[in-house]
Structure 1
């Protein structure tokens, strides 16, 4: 039942609409004119009637903002801190831009519109002045795709966990093409210069972290979040635990520890044990921060310093992963083997290294032909 009450306030006259509902909280809202108050009250009554008749879908009852809030509470705490931080950053974009929409109103066209805005809107600069800000920077196709993937995780929960949606509208939204033409690989000379610079670094963790990355192909987050329980020094293997940040979607990869890396791990464990009455906690981080043992160390500054000393330009930590794949390909590893090492779920992800593997395959074929045919193939 709806009632309209005229109220006189210091700011002027308003009309307060009240809608009383059985077994539900009362709804109320103020308007500057009576006609708007009446329209709002009637709309509330119509919606209540639809609810009572079972005509309102779950997608109409919930907004995207509700879904995002629920996802933050139920799913983000289960992720690794770094992964949760990235997901939260993506959700910080979607919630204010599309959160007001009911799930029934969230169409593929609206998502695609904001996909394009993400790609064409400059990233806000942290510089204090325009002179220091430099030219505008834009999000890469890969970054835009990660934003879409996080939104997709929320909508998947709406479909499979909470049953607020029947189908995710994101399924009809195309992702941007991630061009890998600029994928950077280390040459063997660059690798030696980098390792020398890491060895001379003030950071005691940098050399070991870089060696683990280049020899296992694991992601930076996977390396820095390693715990002692993941390291089997006797067997010479490391268990890389992965979560939703990676394409493997959960599970564990077992990777061998290089013979040159094993002594460094043993020495680090011995150093961590010195001066402690209790044994080293197996659940402790391999690379803990000095600020908190529960947080991994930050290696950005030591890493950039090492690159500068080594004279290596336009190289990211993630390119160590690409370099590992390139070294494997040069040694004759197949795309399947490279994908297994890197933890790729889809063979398409490993195709960026196809040209490296093909070079070795072509050499094998030519060598086989020369051995079998000799000069016979050239005789007329």
Structure 2
């Protein structure tokens, strides 16, 4: 129970609220009126009972800008290297717009205002004279997801907040991320031939892995040799951090053709090693499977070689992510269920796999007809 003390001073009478509860350090604050002191005492005691008083104080100490800086320093390096530039771009935006605000005063309304401004502001052209582009709902959702990652760390990792205000912000709706394009078997054959002829020594292997395992580009580009077990012919992909929406680790089988290419690549890496054997093994395990030729710490950029290969193969309207869709399509053709497809692709929600329902239905219908014909032929 709070105690209100009346204190006479030369400047006038003041009222000091004093709160003492077991397990908490004493709190005191002085007010000009008894009513103000009592209101503060009631509010503070309620916060202590809910165990949020300390978090409120932490939220007053730190700004969103300081939280972003800590996130960049401690958590961002754990993200896949290929996704870090996008995260940094998103973080730059939030730091610029809301970085000055204390976490305790960061509201859903402020975040929603920035969400709307982001959606309404065109992306400047990359080249002089080029056309500006409007950000899609999917892009705005990714900006919000990055902010949510920072605020989730404030709640779960650093205990600077009790709840993330971004959870109360509505995500933009739109079907732009539902586009699904599949490779036909003929297109796949032409694409693989074009990749073989590519000047890039990485493209053919990367495309094979993408279209057979269904792994995301960021997952493949983030692969390190320690993630591969070539004897058991499996690879493990880490999808961001374990507490993210697409987080966790899953194992995928590697086709024999890719295993042979990976072994050849590993052998070449060992031959070019200039360090002692023990350190060579450590360096190899941590090395990227698809490193950039500029710096081995960053993955190779295959966008231009992939675009060139598509042109040579005469394939239009295909993005790299469609290789993942194509992997799901080939799985569905072979009779895999939506549950199996979701497990391979790493979907956290069954609804995500529903876009492939029409493909599994064709296989299921064929099986039903085959069983029906077998049964009726015996009657």
Q: Same fold (TM over 0.5)?
A: yes
Give distance in 2, aligned partners of 1:158 and 1:272: 41
Q: Is residue 199 of structure 1 aligned with residue 196 of structure 2?
A: yes
Q: How does 1:102-121 map to 2 (within 5 A)?
A: 102-121=102-121
Q: Is residue 143 of structure 1 aligned with residue 146 of structure 2?
A: no
Change over 3 Å in CA distance of 1:71–1:273 after alignment to 2: closer
Q: Is residue 188 of structure 1 aligned with residue 185 of structure 2?
A: yes
Give distance in 1, aligned partners of 2:95 and 2:139: 17
Give distance in 1, aligned partners of 2:342 and 2:153: 28
* SS class of match (2:235): strand
TM-fit CA distance, 1:200: 0.4
Contact 1:198 1:206 in 2 (8 A): yes
TM-fit CA distance, 1:79: 2.7
* SS class of match (2:238): strand
Contact 2:213 2:254 in 1 (8 A): yes
TM-fit CA distance, 1:276: 4.3
Q: Which residue of 2 aligns with 1:335?
A: 338
Q: 2:306 aligns with which of 300, 303, 310?
A: 303
Give distance in 1, aligned partners of 2:137 and 2:304: 26
Contact 1:243 1:249 in 2 (8 A): yes
Q: Which residue of 2 aligns with 1:214?
A: 211
Q: 2:154 aligns with which of 153, 158, 166?
A: 158
Contact 1:119 1:139 in 2 (8 A): yes
- Unpaired segments ≥5 residues, structure 1: 1-44
TM-fit CA distance, 1:60: 3.7
Q: How does 1:50-129 map to 2 (within 5 A)?
A: 57-58=56-57, 59-128=59-128
Q: Which residue of 1 aligns with 2:318?
A: 315
Give distance in 2, aligned partners of 1:115 and 1:276: 49
TM-fit CA distance, 1:235: 1.4
Deviations 1:220-257 (A, max 9, x none): 1211222222222221112223323974313x221111
Which structure would you say has the larger RCO, counting Cα contacts within 8 Å and 6 or more residues apart? 2
Aligned residues: 324
Q: Is residue 260 of structure 1 aligned with residue 257 of structure 2?
A: yes
Which is worse superposed, 365-374 or 147-156?
365-374
Give distance in 2, aligned partners of 1:168 and 1:230: 33
Give distance in 1, aligned partners of 2:160 and 2:259: 51
Give distance in 2, aligned partners of 1:161 and 1:267: 42
Q: Is residue 285 of structure 1 aligned with residue 291 of structure 2?
A: no
Q: Which residue of 1 aligns with 2:15?
A: none
Q: TM-score, normalised by structure 2?
A: 0.78
**CA RMSD, 1 decimal:** 2.7
